[in-house]
Structure 1
Amino acid sequence: MSGPVLQAAPTPAPEDGLSQERSRAAFLASPGWISAIVGAIVGSALCLFVLAPWQFNRNAERSAENARIISTATADPVPLAEVLPAGAQATDQLAFRPVTVTGTFLAGEQVAVGLRQNQASQPSLEILTPLRLSDGSVLLVDRGYLSANTYNGSIPLPPPPAGIVTITARIQPYQPDPLQRPAIQRNGYLEVRGIVATSVPGLSDVRGGFVQLTENSPGVLGAISVPQVESGPFLSYAWQWITFGTMALLALSFFIYREVVDPRDDPAENPDADMSPERSATAGPRTGPADAAPTDDSADRDDSANRDDSANPGGPPIAKPQRRSRSARTPRFDRSQLYDS
């Protein structure tokens, strides 16, 4: 007596598998998915190739400027004529360069520069006093800060040292007033808003720039220090944009992969898979136990019955793997069970 003959399940043709994979990826052609893909790619490209390089460039510029300020401010003082000769204009590259200058202060020509703040962010005045050099030219000297609350027009400005003095100061380019506001005549002095060659009226042959006195220099008031150098947040911003761009691509890839390997049920093939509460109410209440949602045990019994009816009578059943979609695995809440029959 011969044993039962096992009959293998038919192997799908390669063309069928390819068509099945194509049908799974057909959702990518829908308008919603096309918009999502284009938006994710454009946003990621903007983060990775525009915003992140922009922040990297700003960080590089800030680092180069900080290095220049440190190297310039810490250099040894040199005579003014070596770095800013007569007729030359001070530039940002010369800012904070220490120099030594010899001349005589013009006490009767000094003015106050208003709308300034000191290092403590307190309202202050900067006292600008001309210095007559040995060659006859004039250099504007910023002697430093005074409290604007104390020198409010009723107290004369402190006079500079008399006679020939040698000062140590830092070069600065002119700081014009962007609004070009006129000067204000106070009781004891003239108050201007910017520092330019014409800030002190009646002067000629003025050097192209001014200087700020350093500590312990003759005539200094509240010395203006070199600004603190900070790298700023540009580098962290750049890495944040890189993170955002990478996350957009990863999220898009994850959702596409999930939709391909685990698609939702097609409502045309499984009308009960996506039934809304309104459709459930229209269908009427379910009162019998036969209408209840099948449990895992009932599903296993149905699966066993299907195997018994396979095309292999008399032999052991052949288990056929069945794939469930996300909606088939998720139990649905039946509102009809809330009511008694």
Structure 2
Amino acid sequence: MHRYRFLLTRQWVILTLVAIALIPTMIRLGFWQQSRYEMRTARNQLVSDALHAKRVPVEKLTSPGHAVTRMEKYRTVTATGTFDTAREVVVRRRVNADEEVGFHVLTPLVLTDGHVLLVNRGWIPANGSQTAFPKIPAPPRGRTTVTGRLMVDETTAASGIKDLRGLPARQIMLINSEDEARRLGARVLGGYIEQTAPAPKGGSPEQISDPGSEDAPLNYAYMIQWWLFAAGVPVGWWFLVRREIRDRVEATPEQQATETEPATA
């Protein structure tokens, strides 16, 4: 066993301790990626189920003061009413598919029973100004039936967007039915919808695209990668040990030859 005595040197003790510490760390990282993979897979399935579910009248899923649930989010709903453009607002600092900064257009839809549904009609460019109220393409006049994806109220905690005060007139940071109910003095249905039909004339406002699926397969690949790394650590450690033994064996005859070589006069 004397050939392994070098493992007690300071250098090899540190190397061995590091290897031992890396194995459980990498295993835990693999389980963390596994949990993210499962979470994203479940989220993607939930979104897909909601998007492909049968459309229903919005009143079947939400009502004034209702908090839209995860199971209700992205469900396709319909609503009939009249757009109230006089109390329309824009939502600041929103980007389109091309990452251009602009506004979302939020228009109250007054339903036949007097309740109000918040409709995000889509994105318009800021045209170089974030303070002036933009020119907004008009929605259909009169009684209109719209279709859209039901969304949850936006909050700072969920979105990371600060709800700034003192904004220019008719501009908001977050779409929140409770805040809009107070502003409008009306009974506003909980949540809001992202309009998908009818399509706007001239393509503006630019409709918001379907929610994309999160990249769950990437997390699966990372999970396998971390576990392979964990398995590779002891293999790599043993390879280094064998190489050290080989180097020491090869060096021994040279060292003996040097020690026995007679000194020259």
TM-score by length of 1: 0.65
Give 1:133's match in structure 2, choosing from 105, 111, 120. Answer: 111
Give the C-alpha shift of residue 211 in structure 1. 0.6
Aligned residue type for 1:25 = Y
> In the alignment, is residue 76 of structure 1 matched against residue 54 of structure 2?
yes
Give the C-alpha shift of residue 86 in structure 1. 4.1
Name the structure 2 match of 1:170.
149
Between Structure 1 and Structure 2, the one with more helix by share is: 2
Aligned residue type for 1:212 = E
Over 3 Å counting, the alpha-carbon distance change for 1:71 and 1:330 in structure 2 is: farther
Over 3 Å counting, the alpha-carbon distance change for 1:185 and 1:45 in structure 2 is: closer
Give the C-alpha shift of residue 258 in structure 1. 4.6
- Partners of 1:151 and 1:263 lie apart in 2 by 71
Deviates more, 1:173-182 or 1:37-46: 173-182
- Partners of 2:175 and 2:8 lie apart in 1 by 65
Name the structure 2 match of 1:224.
208
**Alpha-carbon RMSD:** 2.8
Aligned partners of 1:55 and 1:234 also within 8 Å? yes
Q: Tell me the percent identity.
A: 28
Aligned length: 248
- Partners of 1:65 and 1:330 lie apart in 2 by 65
- Partners of 1:242 and 1:98 lie apart in 2 by 41
> In the alignment, is residue 196 of structure 1 matched against residue 179 of structure 2?
no
Task: Give the unaligned 5+ runs of structure 2.
Answer: 259-265
Over 3 Å counting, the alpha-carbon distance change for 1:30 and 1:125 in structure 2 is: same
Aligned partners of 1:215 and 1:223 also within 8 Å? no
Give the C-alpha shift of residue 169 in structure 1. 1.0
Aligned residue type for 2:228 = T
Give the C-alpha shift of residue 193 in structure 1. 1.1
Give 2:23's match in structure 1, choosing from 36, 40, 44. Answer: 44
Over 3 Å counting, the alpha-carbon distance change for 1:139 and 1:215 in structure 2 is: closer
Name the structure 1 match of 2:162.
179
| Larger relative contact order (Cα-Cα within 8 Å, sequence gap ≥ 6) | 2
> In the alignment, is residue 149 of structure 1 matched against residue 123 of structure 2?
no
Name the structure 2 match of 1:247.
232
Q: Residues 158-193 of structure 1: CA distance to partner in whole angstroms, max 9, x if unpaired?
A: 33333222111110011235422025335xxx1111
Over 3 Å counting, the alpha-carbon distance change for 1:167 and 1:150 in structure 2 is: farther
Aligned partners of 2:180 and 2:188 also within 8 Å? no
Name the structure 1 match of 2:263.
none
Name the structure 2 match of 1:302.
none
Higher Rg of the two aligned structures: 1
Task: Give the unaligned 5+ runs of structure 1.
Answer: 1-20, 265-324, 335-341
- Secondary structure at the counterpart of residue 206 of structure 1: coil
